[in-house]
Amino acid sequence: MKPLAISLAFLLLACSDQHPNQTKPPKALFDFSTPDNTIKSTWRVSTWKDTTQLDTSDFEFFTSSRLASERENKKQMMNTLRTKHPQNDNSITDVQIKSDSYAVVEAKEYFTIAQKDPSERRYILSKENGKWKIDDSQYKCFTCKGSGFEEDFDQKLSDIKQGLYRTEPKRKCTKCNQTGWVSLYKH
């Protein structure tokens, strides 16, 4: 009986996705108590999923001989992300509680390890059943870079034809409707 138990233990260890000296980070806890804690919770959950859940959804595309090295590559990436996850450097830049049930949180976020400068993001939160929940997620408009105005190329071309050389004719940004922000959910 003992040799069988030892054999089973070795078999389970060999088939495990984790190495014996690596510990799985504890599951991220949710904190909906304040708007900024809700956003920080989303970052923690995302980091936890990226560093503990081996994504095997694309393994169907690989031959059986390639599968082992692909699995190892993903494990190495998970290990790298444990110490160098792009969201580790995210930061809250502003919290505006507009009412008892409405708040706006602005943040600087990294989405990839290679990203040099953070992206600007704005979250709209509503209080639901005593918890702050995300109602909308917005990014700074790429067309106007958050100014609400974009270059008016039609006007510029018309000016050039008339011999006028104004610096940069502007018009209301058509992408963000002059708000400087674009919703990820509402179009």
pLDDT in tens, 3-43: 544 444 444 444 444 444 455 667 778 999 999 999 999 99
With a CB cutoff of 8 Å and minimum separation 6, the contacts of 172 are 148, 149, 150, 178
Share of the chain above pLDDT 90, in %: 34
CATH entry, 30-140, from 3.30.2220, 3.30.450, 3.30.70, 3.10.450: 3.10.450
Give dist(CA 87, CA 113) in Å, integer: 9
Cβ–Cβ under 8 Å, residues 42 and 105: no
pLDDT digits (tens, 9 = 90+) for 89-121: 899 999 999 999 999 999 999 988 788 889 999
Lowest average pLDDT, out of 11-25, 85-99, 125-139, 145-159, goes to: 11-25
Whole-prediction pTM: 0.69
Q: Answer whether residue 62 shows pLDDT above 70.
A: yes
The full set of domain ranges for the chain reads: 30-140, 149-183
Phi, psi for 108 (deg, rounded to 5): -110, 125
Mean pLDDT of 128-147: 93
CA distance 93 to 125: 15
pLDDT at residue number 107 = 97
